[in-house]
Amino acid sequence: MAQVILYNVTNGLIIGTFYVLMALGLSLILNLSNVINFAHGNFLALGGYLAFTLAPALGYWGALLVSPVLTAVIGIAVERLMVRRLYGRDPVYSLLFTFGLAFFMQDAARYLWGPNGLPLGLPDALGQPVSADLFFITWYRVFMVAIVILTVIGLFVFLRRSRVGLRIRAGTLDLETVAVLGVNVRNLRTFNFGLGCLLAGLSGVLAAGQIGLNPNMGDDLLMPSFIAIIVGGVGSLMGTLFGGLLIGMAAALTTAVYPAASEAVIYAILMAVLLLRPRGLMGEEGMMS
């Protein structure tokens, strides 16, 4: 029994880390640009596929570094050329746009890499279990969680300590004032969009090593990420972090007891939060209206 619980706790932690990376990227873009990026799951898939294509040339480690950056570059191009035109308009337009983009990117991935699942090869060292007792914990899982923890710490330090990070946080609260103080808000938003896509690309590479690649691999992560943001509280990245871990854990622990309800429990948490604490666990009053 202890092993079953431990097994599900590790699963929860791993699913939760994916939710967290995905939701943090979504949250960054949502907070600063007021855009719900429906295509975020497709940027995740893109990151995974790019790693698959680059791995023969660069090796796993090279692909792990390069493919998130490439994903970010593509994200920046999309933002510069198209998403940017929609900022001042009714939010329905940016929503429809990213929705269409998601359709397009999913179909493009299917066209370029085929509809069937593909594996992303891992270095041998990462494929081994940690020990015979804990056979379900491979070094890859440890590695994945470690990378996510480091990335999240890096992101928070960046947002708190660097000048650009400070501007992003300030822009979340009051973009107009930030613009008036002489910050180039257009570039800031572009950079921020790229940063969000970088996180999506990184989670794509990590997810590909665990569950393999398929054109709609990001879809299953998208809805829980939305919920993680709402549960954690819109406007609070720390809230998104806890929201993601919370629903990941809740889903995994429910799987141990009653597998069919693992999705339902996520929605139950959502409803409870909307009912009892509408601003989200760590959200500030007024951020959502």
Partner 1 sequence: MSTVSLDKAKPRPAIGQNHIALAAIWIVLLTAPFWIPRMPLLNLYTDLASKLLVFALAAMALNLLLGFTGVLSFGHAAYFGLGAYGAGLTLRYLVHSTPLAMLLGTLLGGVAGTLFGLLIVRRRGVYFAMCTIAFGQLWYYLAYSWNDFTGGFDGLRDFHREPIGLGPFTLDIGEETRFYYFLLAIFAVAVGLMGLVLRSPFGRTLLAIRENERRARFLGIPVERHIWISFSISCFFTALAGTLYALLLNFADPLSLHYSLSGYFVVMTVIGGMRTFWGPLIGAAVFVILQDRISSMTVNWMSFIGVIFMLVVLFFPRGLLGSIRRRFST
The reply to whether 251 sits near partner 1 by the rule CB under 8 A is no
* 181 belongs to the binding site for partner 1 (CB under 8 A): no
8, 253 contact by CB (below 8 A): yes
257 binds partner 1 (CB under 8 A): no
Confirm or reject binding of residue 275 to partner 1 (CB under 8 A).
yes
What is the number of other CB atoms lying within 10 angstroms of the CB of residue 20?
28
Residues 30-49 that bind partner 1 (CB under 8 A): 30, 34-36
Cβ distance 138 to 130 under 8 Å?
yes
Interface with partner 1, residue 80, by CB under 8 A: no
Site residues for partner 1, window 124-143 (CB under 8 A)? none
Interface characters, 201-240, with partner 1 (x: CB under 8 A): ----------------------x--xx-xx---x------
Residue nearer to partner 1 on the CB measure, 229 or 245: 229
* Stretch touching partner 1 by CB under 8 A, among 83-91, 176-184, 201-209, 247-255: 83-91
Binding region for partner 1 (CB under 8 A): 30, 34-36, 82, 85-86, 89-97, 99-108, 110-111, 223, 226-227, 229-230, 234, 260, 263-264, 267, 270-271, 274-275, 278, 288-289
